[in-house]
Structure 1
Amino acid sequence: MKFKVIIKGKVHGVGYRIMLINLALEYGIDRFSTFNTKIDGKEAVICLIDAPEWITEEIKNQIQSKKPERALIESIEFEEFQYEIPPIERSMQAFQMEHWGKAIPILLDIRDSVREESQKTRDELGTIIKEESQKTRDELGTIIKEESQKTRDELG
């Protein structure tokens, strides 16, 4: 049986699609799709499911009774659906690609920050090493002069 679920409310960015994907995987559903959209300017999650009739009622009950912790539901509607529903893997791949698309700019920013901080650290260490090297040379020069003078004095 093919059907469409329309969930409206505060449903984007709260884990709704992953919850629905996990539900489909739990019930062994092969034909499944879910995506975020806006309907009349409001957030909505659309879910397309093709499952045996004996699973359909259980899935509908699960969808009505479960929600991600941060989701605020305004409505859940179920409609018949007549078109082909893609394999669940396609929805999972799209979800993964969407999140990589969000993660890559963040990772690039982190990389740039690490590079910047690394350069600052190298610059600071370079300065410290130069200063400490000069102090060591000065101290060694003083010690050598003093010891040389002592040796000359002892030898007469």
Structure 2
Amino acid sequence: MSVCAKRWLATAMLLMSVCGFSVSALGEEIRVADSQDLLAVATGVKSSLVDGAQPRLRQHAAAIYPARAMIRGITGYVVIGYDVNAAGRTENIRVLEGTPGPMFYESAMTAVANSLFEPSETKYTNLKRTLTYTITP
């Protein structure tokens, strides 16, 4: 499927969701789940290690691909810094870097904020996660 066709499909999915059809969407953003069949995928692809230790992920939250970026064919990445407290919740979430600018920042920060880790006696600090936003050919 061509990039142009994928952009039209993304627009159609957005319009269908606004009309009440069963397309998972939020406002201008199309939710990206774990399906390989979706035209756009937003996934966390890296986590940094802190002193050889890393918290165990309990629930990975799916990122949301902004519809404006999808329709325009814009791709990019965001590196998020965060801590995980003893209860397994993320905190101190911040953008470390990203391109092509702030377009994907909110989506990436929300995905990290909604991820859950196994509770632990250890507080993990200065973790990193890279979320890469691509439109698959």
TM-score under structure 1 normalisation?
A: 0.20
Which is strand-richer, 1 or 2? 2
Higher Rg of the two aligned structures: 1
TM-score under structure 2 normalisation?
A: 0.22
Relative contact order, CA 8 A, sep 6+: which one is greater? 2
